Amino acid sequence: MKIGKAVFKNFLYISFNSLICPVLIILSIIFRSRKKKKVIFGTTPIINNKYWCQSLKEIGIEAETLMSGYYKINQKEDFDLYFEDFFPGILRKRVLLYLFAPILVWIYILKNAKIIVTTFEGIAFKKFFWRLEPILARVANIKMIVIPYGADGYMYSRIKDPSLQQVLLASYPEFARKERDITNKVFYLSKYADVVITGVMTCEGFPRWDACVYQPIIIDTKKWQPKKEYSACNGKNGPVRILHAPNHRAFKGTEFILKVAKELKQEGYDIDLVLLENVPNEKVRETMQEVDILVEQLIATGYAMNGIEGMACGLPVLSNLENSLYTTIFKRYSYLQECPILSTTPESLKDNLKLLIENPDKRRSLGEKGRIYVEKYHSYSTFQYLFETIIRRLNGESVDLMFLFRTYDLRQEAGEKVQISDNLSTSDKQKR
């Protein structure tokens, strides 16, 4: 019965869109000459989109987020528009959304978007017709920027680190069965997108990247404030609080953290392991003001949103930066060599935790350096700089995206502030 329903649903979807897609192509031609200003971020509801969007609004660019839904760790207010917003309340039925949402979403994009920033999952057509999307964008003179977030781009058989493949299979096994579809999308969009930024995933078999950016994630540094007070406790004269906030325990290496925390307590250290799982982002931010150390991830090489949030809050952060296969390129051609994270694997976790537990001054020093690092490379101004340079490239200027952050220090010293005009061409830069 379920198979029959799925076959009928797909038949209905294909038949309907086979009739409608030619209409979209005609509309893309009609709207090609329309004056459009918006940068639209979508449609996978990752919180990065919110911050990227807000950073562009801050410098006067008309930007908005358009999402298929939202995750429970976030709030509906985090994003501007949802697929369901194109339907009156009485019509928000699953089957109607399934059939009509891609069409209505694309009509809105064709009418309004100058640039669309998306992932390798695509925009609205998740099945069968996704290959049409770059064509619609190109015909309508809409530029497409692709920034993967993880599940949309990991091709498991191409992953260089077997330990990473192990924890991805343990945490997200369904994507192994989708590898052919993921690979097809990665290579297709890598061919037709105007800009591709792969970040730390660069080394996992991608055919192309246009900017050597270690981690394009940013946060609102005004909202994520550094700690006001640092504890002087060293695990002997008082407790040291260690935070770990996994989305999936296997991927983050949580089992090793639990084991080491138990061993340290048995050795007489006064520590408190704070484990946050499936809680709102607000709770994470509040907790970071109350703890002394953040352990982010021990298996995958790099750091992600949680590590950036921890550094922004002035916490010393432990994360795995050991595998040179993933780090050398970004130390040579980007900014990773400045990262103050204490590089930690499951094997070095106990020693590194002891170092920080016993040395309150070391915790404070790393925490303060982390805040500086985030302000420099993961704040709104960083994405504004990156995006402004991308706009110049898209406008035909000869700019060097590949080695962009080699000259970032010089730009900072010059005290320039990025400003972009309404039509997304670069306006004159002004001194702060």
Q: How far is CA 236 from CA 20, 78, 257, 402, in A?
A: 70, 42, 20, 49
For residues 6 and 65, membership in a common domain is answered with yes
Q: Same structural domain for residues 260 and 355?
A: yes
CA 292 to chain CA mean position, Å:
25
| Residue 131 near residue 188 (C-beta atoms within 8 A) | yes
Q: How many Å apart are CA 186 and CA 362, to the nearest integer? A: 42
Amino acid at 422: D
Strands 271-275 and 240-244: what pairing? Answer: parallel
**pLDDT (tens digit, 9 = 90+) per residue, 92-124?**
666 666 678 888 999 999 999 999 999 999 999
In a domain, 161, yes or no: no
**Neighbouring residues of 116: CB distance < 8 A, sequence distance ≥ 6:** 39, 40, 42, 109, 123, 137, 142, 143, 144, 145
Residues 371 and 393 in one domain: no
pLDDT of residue 7: 65
CB 122 within 8 Å of CB 152: no
Any domain includes 224? no
Side-chain-side CA neighbours of 355 within 13 Å: the count stands at 14
Supply the pLDDT for residue 405: 87
**Cα–Cα distance, 50 to 83 (Å, whole number):** 16
DSSP-derived secondary structure letter, 420: B
Q: Of 118, 146, 174, which residue is a domain's last? A: 146
The answer as to whether 159 is a domain residue is: no
User: Which amino acid makes up residue 250?
Assistant: A
Domain boundary among 128, 146, 164: 146
Same domain? For 15 and 142 the reply is yes
Q: Do 319 and 302 touch, CB atoms closer than 8 A?
A: yes
Q: Are 372 and 312 in contact (CB under 8 A)?
A: no
Establish if 211 belongs to a structural domain: no
| Alpha-carbon gap, residue 265 to 271, rounded angstroms | 7
Q: Are residues 14 and 90 located together in one domain of the fold?
A: yes
Domain co-membership, 384 together with 403: yes
pLDDT at 409: 59
Q: What type of residue sits at position 124?
A: A
Q: Tokens 């509906």 — which residue?
A: 76
Whether 151 is covered by a domain: the verdict is: no
Is residue 18 domain-resident? yes
**Same-domain pairing of 10 and 138:** yes
Q: Give the Cα separation of 82 and 68 in Å (integer).
A: 6
End-to-end distance of the chain based on CA atoms, in angstroms? 65
- Tell whether 369 and 410 lie within a shared domain: no
Q: Quick one: how many helices (H) and strands (E) in the chain?
A: 15, 13
Residue 420 confidence (pLDDT): 43
Q: Indicate the residue among 97, 118, 146 that finishes a domain.
A: 146
Say how far apart CA 74 and CA 370 lie, in whole Å: 25
* Domain count within the chain: 3
Whether 18 and 130 share a structural domain: yes
Q: Write the DSSP assignment of 231-242 as a string of letters.
A: ----SSSS-EEE
Measured CA to CA, the distance from residue 337 to residue 189 in angstroms comes to 31
Paired with 143 in beta bridges are: 115
In a domain, 181, yes or no: no
Six-digit token pair at 135?
Answer: 């064509």
Q: Which residues of 204-243 are buried (b: 16+ CB within 10 A; e: fewer)?
A: bbbeebbbbbbbbbbbebeebebbeebbebbbeeebbebb
For 394, the domain range is 380-431
Asked if residue 188 belongs to a domain, the reply is no
Specify the pLDDT at position 428. 40
Identify which of 15, 260, 40 has the alpha carbon closest to the alpha carbon of residue 144: 40
Report the pLDDT value the prediction gives residue 12, as an integer from 0 to 100: 62
In Å, how far from its chain's centre is CA 255? 25
- List, in sequence order, every residue forming a beta bridge with 117; answer none if it has no partner: 41, 145
Cα–Cα distance, 180 to 202 (Å, whole number): 19
11 plus 95 within the same structural domain:
yes
Residue pair 295/280 in contact by the 8 Å Cβ criterion: no
**Quick one: 250 and 339 in the same domain?**
yes
Partners of 115 in beta bridges: 39, 143
How far is residue 230's CA from residue 365's CA, in Å, rounded to a whole number?
A: 10
Question: Given this model, what pLDDT does residue 127 score?
Answer: 77
Profile the chain (432 residues) by mean pLDDT over runs of 10 residues: 61 69 90 92 94 96 94 88 84 68 92 97 88 95 96 96 97 96 96 96 94 95 95 96 96 98 97 94 94 98 97 98 95 95 98 98 98 97 95 91 76 46 43 32
User: What CATH number is associated with residue 304?
Assistant: 3.40.50.2000
Q: Is the dihedral of CA 20, 21, 25, 30 positive or negative?
A: positive
Alpha-carbon Rg for the chain, nearest whole angstrom, is 23
State the Cα–Cα distance between residues 375 and 198, nearest whole angstrom.
Answer: 21
Are 371 and 312 contacting, i.e. CB atoms less than 8 angstroms apart? yes
Residue 365, CA atoms < 13 Å, CB-side half-sphere: 7
Same domain, 415 and 398: yes
